[in-house]
Amino acid sequence: MKKNLLLCLVAGLTFSTLHSQEIKDAMRYAQSELHGTARFTAMSGAFGALGGDLSSINVNPAGSAVFNNNQFATTVGNYDTKNNSDYFGTSTSASESTFDLNQAGGVFVFKTRNPNNDWKKFSMSINYENTNNFDNSMFSAGTSPINSVANYFISYANGVPLDLLQNGNYASLDNGAQQAFLGYQGYIINPVTETPNNTLYTSNVRSGGNYYQENSVYSNGYNGKLIFNSGLQYKDFLYFGLNLNSHFTDYVQNTNFYESNNNTLNTNYEVKTLNFSNSLHTYGAGFSFQVGAIAKLTNEMRLGFAYESPTWYNLQDELSQRLTSISSNIAETLPPDVVDPFVINYYAPYDLRTPGSLTGSFAYIFGKSGLISVDYKYKDYSCTEFSPTNDPYYRGLNSAMHNALGSSNEVRVGAEYKIQNFRLRGGYRFEGSPYNDSVTVGDLNSFSGGLGYSFGSIKLDFSYVNVHSTSQNQFFSQGFTESAHINTYKNNFTMTFIFEM
């Protein structure tokens, strides 16, 4: 065995038509968080039958037609996320805090001057929403009694000729062969035979179980939505709206997996510790549209209905990798073996279609003293799809998503009570798991509250949102499929400044 390896391929960019996407990559864009104005978030987003708030347009486009005056609003927020991890009985925790622009926009209202015209009002608005804040940190640590991450590299290596791993170039290989290449060049795996056409491999990590493992995940970025809206009011009881939405996203994720063991030594050089790092950058843009209506049944009761189309994204991935291992035998410990290709893999752009949704809403207005509102949203995640669909890889991935994902039901309840110029608000939100097993990602529960004060044409609102959800963080997609149970807690503080004219 060689004592040291520093693999320095020609630094540069590799363009590939192959793939590295997984189900969790699609779900990153298929789900959205509760962001928006402080009034909207304080009432848990239950605005489908209310309107009159710039973020309500994101639920039901008809909400812009409810405005009586021009309005401009901007929202900033502080977002605290804490992830508690349990991995083989070991508990760890990691947290992240960010301050960001959450929402900014305005609505213009044009009222008819003809009292005989049934179309009373026309509105136009433009609004930016930060639908997802990707700033997050997770850390898991524990001791696996059986499995080593070597199984990850073996799962990709089996079937790959040894000659390709010995003499091939990382930059010219597809994603699967690249994983095998890293494992072989880092001495994590050995061929069963030393013949060039060998296609079977075994682990070179010291056997005996009790592998101490750490997995760190650090991410940042955003998923934004720019809404171009128009609305109409018919007589005094019907409101209609249309949204054309431009989506844009930028996501960066850095992961590091560490493994060590103190298993029995022998005369062979076997891996004692290893570090495997991956850096992923995904960026792109998308489009969707929404239509909606609000019916004012009486002065007190309102019904709302809205349809949101699928979002059609065009995305691109960049991936870089690095592997370091240390081997030893009964006599000595070798210097680190470093496999760093100094290559960024640029994958060919691909398309992703996330599911559409239907929202039904009911609101009851208690005169000028307050209101209560309920939204129900249905979304079928099994419709999520990568394309081109005739690509064998995407065809298999789409089939896996169709089997793993299902429909989700979301309920939002919000209330507001007025005390002179003050507004007291509260809400509750429940979102069912998008996975059929309800374990990979669990149900979400959220409570919210807030306070507002009106100075007349100027309003100032504050909100607090507490979110709890659970998930299984699987470290790798195949071979080594250990996962940590994650409890995620989010505490979001939001402030909105509103100017009305």
Helix H, strand E, coil C: the string for 26-79 is: HHHHHCCCCCCCHHHHHCCCCCCCCCCCHHHHHCCHHHHHHCCCCEEEEEEEEE
| Residues of the chain scoring pLDDT < 50 | 1-12, 17
Tokens standing for 58?
């994101």
Tokens standing for 330?
């009964």
Closest CA relative to residue 50, chosen from 35, 36, 65: 65
Residue 200: C-alpha distances to residues 192, 351, 364, 477 (Å): 6, 35, 67, 20
Domains of the chain, by residue range, sit at 6-148+205-500
Third-level CATH fold of 6-148+205-500: Porin (2.40.160)
Compute the distance between CA of residue 106 and CA of residue 115 in angstroms, rounded to an integer. 27
Closest CA relative to residue 133, chosen from 378, 392, 494: 494
Cis ω on the peptide bond leading into residue 388 (within 30° of 0)? Answer: yes
Give the per-residue pLDDT at 101: 92
Give the per-residue pLDDT at 265: 86
Give the per-residue pLDDT at 18: 59
Within 10 A of 322 (CB to CB), how many other CB atoms are there?
18
Beta bridge partners of 253: 219, 280
Give the per-residue pLDDT at 14: 53
Contact 251, 313 (CB under 8 A): no
Contact 457, 500 (CB under 8 A): yes
HSE, side-chain direction, 13 A CA sphere, residue 168: 20
Q: Where are the beta strands (DSSP E) in 235-348?
A: 238-260, 270-296, 301-308, 311-328, 337-339, 343-347
Compute the distance between CA of residue 316 and CA of residue 350 in angstroms, rounded to an integer. 6
Compute the distance between CA of residue 368 and CA of residue 296 in angstroms, rounded to an integer. 16
Give the per-residue pLDDT at 3: 35
